[in-house]
Structure formats: C-alpha cells, structure tokens
C-alpha cells in the first residue's frame, strides 16, 4: 500500500546531525523525503510541510509534528529522520505564519483549527493508512493538546515532551511575569523558523542587551531594539489576569479531562513546563485515560540534548505500542522519575505520582534554624529590605537558557536581602517525592511585595544547591498575611549528613519581573520603592513525606541509568 520509489534524500544538514546521535535504537529503514508540500489551513492559508517516510514495503502509521520553529535542524533529524527510520511516516509542518507557511502567526489562536485541517488533508494522501499519532516538545506539545480538544478518530496516541497546555500559566504563574523565559521564547518564535544564522544573531543580540531590557522603566517595548515588534509578547506582558478576554481559549488542558487517546508525558525537574506536565498527568489519570509519565533530571532544553536517548526511546516505545501493536518495549510501571541528589541520582519506578501526599512540616526559627517543632506564637522571626533598584538576582532553576538547573547558591545566600533557615545534618537519607510548598506569614511596610521561596540541599562542605522553588505576589495591609508559595514538585534524596534549607527573598530577577513596590502594573511601572519584608514564626516548609508506599522498592532496572519504556 505504501511502497515509495522516490529518490529524494533528507537535507544534508539533517543527515549530518543525525550521524552524530549516540545511544539510539538501530535504524530499521532508509528514509525518503518530500519537501514543501502545501496543506490548506483552516482559513485556506497554505501551510508548508515536509514528508519523511520509510523506504520499503509496508503499511506504516503517520506521525504529525506541527512546529512554529521551522522544519530544518534540529527538527528534521530528531523527528523527521529518526522516526521515519523506525517505520513511521512523519509530516513535519510549519504553523501558520512561520517557516514559509501563509497567514499570520498568532500564538495559540489557530492551532486547533489548523490541526484539524491538516488531518483532513492527510485523509486524502495515498500513503495514509488511517492510523495517526502526534509527538513533539514545548509548543509542539501545545498543538497536540489543541488537536485533542476535538480529537479526530484516526488519532491513536500522543507523546507530549516538556509541553504546555496553558500559555497564561507559562507567563504569569505566581502572579509575576516570567520575564527571562518570555524573552527567550520570543527569540525562538520570531527567529528560529528563519534559520540557524538569524536565530544565532538574535540570541546574541538579546544576550548583549538583556540587562538593559530587564532593567528598563517602563518595561513595555524595551525589547524591541533587540527583537523587533512581537505583538503576542506585548499582549502577554500587558494582560496579567487569567480572566482577561485576551486569554480566552488559550488554555487547552481541559482536553485531558475527557481524552481517550493513550498519552505519554515526558518532563524534567528543572523544566519550565514541569508543573503543567504533572497537571496533565493528574487530569489524564482522573479521566481514566491510559497514560504514562517520565520525569528526568533535565531542564527544558537539556531534555532534548543530554536526555534525548531516554526521551526518544520512551517516545518510540509508546508510539510503537499504540500505533503498531507492538507493546514489547513498554516498561512495567506507569511512572518513572529520576531521584536527584545522593551523587548522580537514580531512576525509580512508581505506580503513580503522589499529587497530594502526606507532608512533613519544617519550621523556621529566629536563629536561622529549620526545626520540626511547631512554634507557639506568630512573632516576627526575621526581616530584610528588598530594593527593586538592586533586585535579588535569579540563580539556576527552571530557565530556558543554559544557566538553568541546579546551581551553587552560596553567593546568592550571602546577600543581605536573602534569608536562609537550615535544618540539622540528617542522620539517614531522606527522600522528598511530590509537590513542595511554603506556608508563610508575611508583613510588609508598603503593602506590595513578592516572596520567593526555594528548597536547597546543603552538603557536608556547606555548598547549597537549589532543588525546587516558586514565587508569589503578595499584597498586605497593616496586618500580616498568610500566603502559600507553591514551590513546584521534585524527586530528591537528601543524603545522610546533608541539611535541608529554606531560602526566602523578595524576587529572582530577571527570571521574574521585579516588583516595583508601587502597586503599578510592571509593564508600565516607572517608579521603584523599596519594601521591608518580615517573616513571622507561624511559617512552615511543607515537604512530601517519604513513605514506603510512595517510594516503593527500587527495581534493579530503575537502579540503572537507562530508561526502559512504558507498559501498555
């Protein structure tokens, strides 16, 4: 049915990069290539696509990969060539207004309709056998959720890699604009589909001008000398309220609540999308949808670089099981997570991810300790002055740049605007698996502040490394206010002799836009007012308990560094 006799080979640049990949399954087929196929979008706009296919006799399923980042390197080898080698047709398509496709790119607004239009086009292709899967990372995951709002009957499997379903949460979770990551997305969205050279020039231009952009007053439009006009970025910055009509239809996570398409999710503990990945898993589980979860020791970008052998193998096994009827590569449990700390960390197999585990409270004290005994009052513990003219810098964490991930926090914690509370050396290892949060009682002298809370692992030499964190915007009156800072989730082992540390500050700039202290919206703020932030005694760090039923026995397979794929 699908014998191809064409002689076109994939582009040389894609084949050269493919040749550098290591640790991947052996190739099954040579790959052919058809370029610049015209697919009618929902409004008739011509959407360009490249078709990669296995050279050989066979009835092969199809993978749809829709991207705003162009169809060249690295997408062509990572998704076009690699999956076609394994026996899949791959349609790699440029989203509307990108990569030569017609129309105007408008972040998130056209993906559901254009995805459905593309499936309608697939039905007319002689090589399409009626079995469809989707795969892809980041925004390429968002377009999958958009299609899943009204899934076509041909859709039999999805693999969402470090993907998002809620653009507002990406930009504004915690109440403060995620400035540095938003700028990085703007570079990628605006320039990557134009090719490697324009992207590199724009990235270097942003790097040179980052300090000037993030320190500008007002912030609105300050990025234009580096990036040009980016209408969706201006829109996201200027509409902080999730209920604003601007965001109507942007969130597509509700698709998971009624989905029947088997869906594998892949994330990283330092990925900017980690919270959304875990939210997707919980929704799919509650809906009774067949799903599986892999979370590695990765950032958003390292998942597709250092983590690629694991990510690709996991994705391939899921697609092969649900599109080709071959479940032989699936692993025995639904969840596999990398437990960090304790040297290089280990992989652990779980039956489920503890979305609401029992927690253990640790309480800060006035002398800088972190103890298990609850306080008897709500007296002030410590205070610091946050000055937006000299904002507390961000160090590591979930960033899109290479500066993300686990980093030494020693210099950061030496600042006068950072509080630390540290537990005693642990007599035995302690595992933390699940969502981490801080319940804080805060008072301020101006009423306007942000509170950044971070969990750190302090080794025997005193080196403090970040595990997970979060920020919440706080508005207080004359009295103190209780706030909960969601600090994301983790799977981390604190080794014997290590100490648990809670770090508190008034921001993490330029990861988050600085709070001007005036009550003005950050996009248009011009004034800066310092604030004194006071932490009170009835505050607590809530860590998910290390219970036997959560941890499970570590299988011999999960002690290795390899990732066995999923079960059916």
Helix H, strand E, coil C: the string for 513-551 is CCCCCCCCCCCCCCCCCCEEEEEECCCEEEEECCCHHHH
Range with the poorest average pLDDT among 303-317, 327-341, 461-475, 539-553: 539-553
Higher pLDDT, 355 or 453: 453
pLDDT of residue 521: 87
Identify whether the C-beta of residue 336 lies closer than 8 Å to the C-beta of residue 563. yes
Work out the pLDDT band at 13, boundaries 50, 70, 90. confident
pLDDT of residue 478: 67
pLDDT of residue 7: 57
Cα separation, 93 vs 38, whole angstroms: 9
Question: Mean per-residue pLDDT for 446-456?
Answer: 96
> CB 151: neighbour CB atoms within 10 A?
21
Mean pLDDT score of the chain = 92
pLDDT of residue 359: 93
pLDDT in tens, 245-273: 999 999 999 999 999 999 999 999 999 99
Provide CB contacts within 8 A for 129, sequence distance 6+.
1, 2, 59, 60, 61, 62
- Assess whether pLDDT exceeds 80 at residue 568: no
Cα separation, 285 vs 277, whole angstroms: 12
Question: Mean per-residue pLDDT for 348-370?
Answer: 94
- Assess whether pLDDT exceeds 70 at residue 4: no
pLDDT in tens, 48-81: 999 999 999 989 999 999 999 999 999 999 999 9
- Assess whether pLDDT exceeds 60 at residue 6: no
- Assess whether pLDDT exceeds 80 at residue 143: yes
Work out the pLDDT band at 344, boundaries 50, 70, 90. confident
Question: Mean per-residue pLDDT for 443-458?
Answer: 96
- Assess whether pLDDT exceeds 50 at residue 555: no
Provide CB contacts within 8 A for 354, sequence distance 6+.
433, 434, 544, 550
């Amino acid at each position: 049915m699908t014998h191809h006799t064409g002689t076109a080979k994939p582009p040389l640049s894609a084949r050269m990069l493919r040749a550098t990949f290591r640790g991947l399954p052996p190739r099954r087929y040579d790959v052919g290539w058809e370029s610049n196929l015209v697919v009618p979008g929902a409004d008739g706009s011509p959407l360009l696509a490249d078709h990669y296919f296995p050279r050989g006799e066979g009835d092969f399923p199809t993978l749809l990969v829709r991207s705003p980042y162009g169809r060249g390197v690295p997408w062509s080898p990572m998704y076009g060539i690699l999956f076609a080698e394994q026996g899949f047709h791959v349609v790699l398509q440029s989203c509307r207004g990108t990569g030569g496709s017609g129309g105007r790119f408008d972040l998130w607004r056209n993906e559901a309709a254009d995805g459905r239009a593309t499936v309608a086009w697939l039905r007319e292709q002689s090589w399409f056998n009626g079995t469809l899967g989707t795969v892809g990372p980041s925004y390429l995951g968002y377009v999958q959720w958009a299609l899943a709002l009204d899934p076509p009957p041909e859709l039999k499997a999805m693999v969402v890699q470090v993907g998002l379903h809620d653009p507002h949460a990406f930009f504004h979770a915690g109440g403060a604009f995620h400035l540095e990551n938003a700028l990085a997305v703007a570079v990628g969205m605006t320039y990557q589909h134009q090719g490697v050279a324009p992207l590199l020039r724009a990235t270097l231009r942003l790097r040179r001008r980052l300090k000037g952009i993030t320190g500008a007053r007002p912030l609105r439009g300050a990025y234009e000398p580096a990036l040009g006009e980016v209408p969706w970025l201006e829109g996201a910055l200027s509409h902080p309220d999730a209920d604003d009509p601007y965001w109507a239809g942007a969130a597509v996570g509700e698709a998971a609540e009624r989905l029947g398409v088997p869906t594998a999710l892949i994330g990283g503990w330092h990925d900017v999308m980690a919270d959304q990945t875990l939210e997707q898993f919980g929704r799919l589980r509650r809906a009774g949808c067949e799903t599986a979860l892999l979370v590695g020791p990765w950032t958003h970008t390292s998942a597709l670089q250092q983590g690629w052998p694991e990510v690709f193998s996991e994705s391939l096994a899921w697609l092969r099981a649900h599109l080709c009827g071959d479940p032989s590569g699936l692993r025995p449990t639904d969840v596999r997570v990398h437990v960090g700390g304790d040297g290089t960390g280990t992989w652990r197999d779980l039956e489920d991810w503890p979305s609401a585990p029992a927690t253990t409270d640790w309480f800060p004290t006035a002398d800088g300790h972190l103890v298990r005994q609850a306080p008897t009052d709500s007296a002030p513990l410590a205070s610091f002055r946050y000055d937006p003219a000299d904002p507390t810098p961000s160090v590591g964490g979930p960033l899109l740049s290479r500066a993300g991930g686990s980093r030494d926090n020693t210099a950061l914690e030496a600042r006068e605007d950072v509080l630390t509370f540290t537990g005693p050396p642990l007599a035995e290892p302690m595992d933390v698996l699940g969502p981490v949060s801080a319940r804080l009682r805060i008072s301020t002298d101006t009423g306007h502040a942000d509170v950044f809370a971070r969990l750190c692992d302090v080794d025997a030499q005193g080196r403090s490394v970040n595990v997970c964190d979060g920020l919440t915007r706080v508005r207080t009156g004359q009295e103190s206010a209780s706030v909960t800072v969601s600090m994301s989730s983790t799977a981390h082992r604190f080794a014997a002799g290590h100490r648990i540390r809670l770090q508190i500050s008034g921001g993490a700039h330029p990861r988050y836009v600085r709070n001007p202290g005036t009550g003005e919206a950050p996009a248009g703020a011009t004034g800066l007012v310092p604030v004194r932030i006071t932490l009170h005694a009835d505050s607590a760090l809530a860590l998910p308990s290390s219970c036997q039923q959560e941890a499970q026995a570590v299988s011999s397979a999960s002690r290795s560094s390899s990732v066995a794929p999923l079960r059916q």
